[in-house]
Structure 1
Amino acid sequence: MMKSSDSTVISVKETNTDTKAKAAAKGAPIVATSKVIKHEKRGWKRGVAIFDFILRIVAIAAALAAATVMGTTDQTLPFVTQFFQFKASYDDLPAFTFFVVANAIVTAYLVLSLPFSIIGIVRPQIVGARLLLLIFDTVMIAVSSAASAAAASIVYLAHNGNSTANWIAICQQFNDFCQRISGAVVVSFVAAVILMLLVVISALVLRKH
């Protein structure tokens, strides 16, 4: 006598809940990675913004020093004649007066730009403040470069003169005067170079957006 036994196969279908759980598990690392990338970008932009702020402080010191040194430069020779007193002052030459005014404008602008630079540190994702700085930094480059170049040409004439135009070199007599105006021009060029670096930094930050 033989007995037969029936076998029953039960199929279990995968529920929607399990599918969603697996999909969520697979997608979790991607979300985490994107958050890390965003955090790294913000950290890089914040570091650049801090460097921008430091450069602005240095540029303020350079432009202010250039304006102050040039604006307080004059020298009177110890000997006089009956009709002449030998004196050299910065305001005797319009190029030096323009130099002082231009560097004063650059200094004032850089001071006013510091709050916008701080905004770039606190909120590095903001584009408007960085774009505004880029535009005005470019304008200040033109102002600073023009003033420095005009003053540099006069300094060259003071040191070397021009025999064709019968302009004599005065630096042998007014040595202190020439040293001060030469130093002011050099410092002003330093401020102009820093402004160029600030424009490059702003352009790089905007390019990353």
Structure 2
Amino acid sequence: MPNVHPFDTRKPVVLVPYRPEWAPEFAALARRLRALAGPAVLRIDHIGSTAVPGLRAKDVLDLQLTVPDLLAVADLVPALQQAGFRQGESLLYDVFHFLPAASAELRKRYMREPAGERTAHLHIREAGRFNARYALLFRDYLRASPVARTEYELLKVRAAELFPDNIAGYLYLKEPVFHLLYEAACLWAEKVGWQLPAPDA
């Protein structure tokens, strides 16, 4: 699912083979965020391509922080900002075609790593919303389906070849694939009885 945030600008697209160190890097960052956030965050999960073993990805950790109420995070954002994490003051929206652009099901806050640290994107989403569920469903489906994982990787590689210096173009090309994969993921979820997994942190 494409993410709309202030850092979607022209920049190189570099995909690297899956790196086993992504999992412990996530765990270390999640522990740090848990200490900062306390009970304001219900769960912290490793999402995106770096959370799928075997999948090529940009060397960017994506973390989902699930909160009870996205409109009542008065303590969370300042605590993260005080620790150096950037942005987060305004509501943003993910993109998914069958939902209105400003739907409550797609809203979130977005933050980045402190300056000078390894690249990480924090997606703060509300419990029970479509986008929070989709991020975990998408991850788990790719983990479970070698065929979907392989074909998605091929699409990513070709998109990077077409837009090697333009992350916006890369994301634009990938966007329809998220919708196709959603349909397949929903069928898979129904077949296997998928439910929200236990949190990663």
TM-score for the superposition, normalised by structure 2: 0.26
User: Which has the larger share of strand?
Assistant: 2
TM-score for the superposition, normalised by structure 1: 0.26
User: Which has the larger share of helix?
Assistant: 1
Structure exhibiting the larger radius of gyration computed from Cα positions = 1
